[in-house]
């Protein structure tokens, strides 16, 4: 599935996103968000069915975003969501891939928001500097081993629960909660379809 809902979802790249990414995204030409909001970053493990293995390859071996984590054979969905529960960007990797390795791809030029909210898994000097270079607020708690602890707005950080609930909502679709698709592009399309249905249903965090 190369593209779903042309003009809204862009699935031909490794990072899938809304055509207008950030707090001013739209569905069907209708604005879905206020001009300014925080963007939430996190990931979730998707258990893969054994039938998801064994995709046919032509030429170079394709990367199908399948791996093994403590939960077994799995895919990891890395996502950037607005504080109102709308998907901005997402990436699929194998389940064993560390969250921070995909952070800069999710948070890059072109997104619209006030700041980035994430948990301690995203506390790295490189990523924090990257966010600041984009002139966005950093709302990420410091790891315990940091000599200089970063102050975090507790009220803003509580909004991080939105992306956790969004993942839960997305996993209500059984085709997404368990991956059966052999190819990354096919499964990525179902994630886009599920996120579109959540947005069009009017669900707000």
Question: What is the per-residue pLDDT across 36-90, written as a single tens digit (0 to 9) for each?
Answer: 799 999 999 999 988 888 776 654 445 888 988 887 899 999 999 999 999 999 9
Helix axes 161-170, 184-200, angle to 10 degrees: 110
Taking the CB of residue 126, how many other CB atoms lie within 10 A of it? Answer: 9
The pLDDT value recorded for residue 36 is 72
The pLDDT value recorded for residue 54 is 73
* Segment holding 164, helix H or strand E: helix 161-170
The pLDDT value recorded for residue 178 is 94
Q: Quick one: the chain helix, strand, coil %, rounded to 5?
A: 30, 25, 45
Residues of the chain with pLDDT under 50: 1-13, 19-20, 26-34, 59-61
| Domains of the chain from N-terminus onward | 9-52+62-200 (3.30.420.10)
The pLDDT value recorded for residue 17 is 61
Compute the distance between CA of residue 64 and CA of residue 181 in angstroms, rounded to an integer.
Answer: 10
Six-digit token pair at 107?
């948070």
Q: What is the DSSP letter of 53?
A: -
The pLDDT value recorded for residue 16 is 62
The pLDDT value recorded for residue 46 is 94
The pLDDT value recorded for residue 147 is 86
């Amino acid at each position: 599935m190369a593209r779903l809902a042309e003009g809204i979802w862009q699935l031909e790249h490794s990072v899938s996103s809304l055509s207008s990414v950030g707090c001013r995204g739209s569905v069907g030409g209708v604005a879905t968000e206020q001009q300014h909001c925080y963007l939430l970053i996190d990931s979730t493990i998707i258990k893969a069915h054994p039938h998801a293995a064994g995709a046919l390859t032509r030429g170079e071996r394709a990367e199908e975003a399948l791996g093994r984590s403590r939960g077994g054979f799995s895919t990891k969905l890395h996502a950037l969501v607005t504080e109102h529960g709308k998907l901005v960007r997402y990436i699929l990797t194998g389940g064993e891939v560390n969250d921070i390795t995909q952070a800069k791809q999710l948070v890059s030029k072109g997104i619209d928001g006030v700041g980035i909210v994430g948990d301690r898994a995203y506390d790295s000097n490189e990523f924090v500097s990257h966010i600041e270079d984009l002139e966005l607020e950093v709302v990420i708690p410091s790891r315990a081993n940091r000599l200089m602890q970063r102050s975090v707005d507790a009220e803003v950080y509580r909004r991080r629960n939105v992306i956790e609930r969004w993942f839960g909502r997305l996993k209500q679709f059984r085709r997404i909660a368990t991956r059966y698709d052999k190819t990354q592009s096919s499964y990525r399309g179902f994630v886009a379809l599920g996120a579109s249905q959540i947005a069009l249903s009017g669900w707000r965090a």
